[in-house]
Structure 1
Amino acid sequence: MRTETIAQDILLTVMDAAGNAAVPVLLWGQPGTGKTSLVRTIAEANDLPFRAIACSTVDPTDLGGFPVPSPDDNGGVRMQPRQFAIDLATAGRGLLFLDELSTATPAVQAGMLKICSERFVGEIYLPDAVRIVAAANPADQAANGFELEPPSSNRFLHLPYTPSIDDWLTGMTVGWDNVTDKLTATTTTTEARRLKALSKVTGFIRNRRTLAQAYPSDASKTGEAWPSLRTWDWLHKVLAYLPDDNSDRSLECRRVATIGLVGEAAGVEFLTWERTLDLPDPEKVIADPTSVDWKAIRNDRLYAILGAVTAFATEKAMSDPQSGAWNGALAVMGHAADANKGDVVMPFLRNLVTVRKQGNANVAIDHKVMAKLVPLIRDAGIMSDLRGN
């Protein structure tokens, strides 16, 4: 278990970003540190229906439902979910709190996998607007505690919770409601922000493929965060909701979220790689595509640059379709393709065409630029999306 102390504003910002991205969070901390009070306060501050489950007192039927006769009288049975799931699904939003997770038996942990990864409780689906937060004590500090199995630990963004004495004193004297004033995450994101985050995550994995899926081999690390295709996917979604202004606070939020999802070893390597990319300004690349040496550039760096260019052009096209950024991004793709980088270009070309198709059809196509990309457009199967323009 990570034992670092995370500033409360950073912790809350990362938790909020994970909630908006529909990524489950696991708070690790010693007994009696106020984890339940913190989570309940977050729910109240966001006007979210709050439902809690004490994992030490449930059995698998509480999570997967219990069998009841099928209503069609054909002799079959169906799984009837518990009331907490019905309440949250009916409300369409809320916060489900899984308390004392480390006291859950392996059988109960298995029942939680379906909730956290598929959002199903029996036959009821919990919408993405239902946030899932769990709390756990270290196994050696939990009554009848169990270590989390790797499949269970891989279903969460792990956050150590060790409130400072100052935070505790403030909560006791002023009230715990003030903690939510420290949030700096954005409650909404954009396709451009998501694409930018996605290009960095996928660019890194192209360079470090062995870290895409690294099941823990060290028995002491099995209950902690570790890199998988799932957690890398979740990482790009969470990053899209976090501040991205390169301030100290922004960098710390990104560090905490990254290590909390893919573990310390993979997380530090990703963050180091991200810092050393030294990416050019995407607007300047669009203005002068020859400013990049497309033939000599590494593929992982190329992936990040094209992702940033696509994100910039997408956002610009949404606000000003006549700005020329969309066609400028196409020209950038053409330069990269001319340098035999077509395999890297193709997914970003699809993204650009999709953006135009889904609401920006008034972006005029520069057919001279488009002509250079016809072979790739045909291979990508998106020619029909551009016909008639």
Structure 2
Amino acid sequence: MRATDLIVTITSLVEQRVPTFLWGAPGIGKSSIVKQIAQDKEVGFIDLRLALMDPTDLKGIPFYDKESHTALWAPPAFLPRHGEGILFLDELNSAPPSVQASAYQLILDRKVGEYELPSGWAIVAAGNREGDRGVTYRMPSPLANRFVHFEMEVDVEDWRLWAYKKGLDERVISYISYRNEHLFTFDAKSDAKSFATPRSWEYVDKILKSTITKELLLDTLSGAIGREVGVSFLSFAKVMNRLPDIENILKTGSGEHSDEVDVLYALSTGVVSAYLKDKNEEKLENILRYTLGLKSEFAVMIVQDLQRNGVRMEHSEIFKEWVKKFAYLLG
């Protein structure tokens, strides 16, 4: 299931307090979309990494109560006491069975020990699949049956939309647009420690914005996305030196029109990124005017990327001209 569809679906289930479980390969953004749901709803978000916990971390520590002459459990401070939010149980199936048992009680009864989860809080869990080369324990059927299960897939268009909103380096967005298959190169049969994932491409963005020297850049990128992909990315990044003047395109609506595919991918991303950083009506008109002379598939890519990022252009006379020229590609 695509991330955009998962956000809509899980949001609805969170509102009904239906426990959900999100499955997927490492590094594809499972925890990020759950956090985004909480941010969009403006509610609390608590991320518990169950693989790092002991049973008492959830249930609490027992103590003797003098008044009742009984043993009670002191609930942990990190569990919510009031309000609304999402309690995210990450790496649930990587937790030892004893920890899963404590989580089972919390999920089943919404309480564990002396603690009770406030009514405004929903439970969402996540974990890697058994074939993903991680440490996993088979989830007991009674526990699995307490969730609505979804498997998250990697989708390039979803990632590109996220990358634009996040403000990732346009070289990264351009490269993935050009080489879709390099967004996610994880192979469960390989022993490689570094491989490309949506998460590791976010690391690449931070590496490019760091003070690492050119001499050390390849080795550093290889540590994030693997040597082969790192070499390919840096080779593509050199394309940025062959781009037409993007600022001039935004100011005048005119500029060179390349026939090189790699240049056109980089140009398309560069134009959209530059506009999203500083929007105004004149620049939008100039972009539309410029795309009238572009290869059709890249003209459509630019306009669709702008629309996915919430840019409205239906009122523009130039856009009406644009639609007449490229209408046959919009179906």
Query: Where on the TM-score scale, by shorter chain, does this alignment land: which range?
Result: 0.3 to 0.5
Greater relative contact order (Cα 8 A, min sep 6): structure 1 or 2?
1
TM-score normalised per structure 2: 0.48
Query: When the two structures are superposed, what TM-score results if normalisation uses the length of structure 1?
Result: 0.42
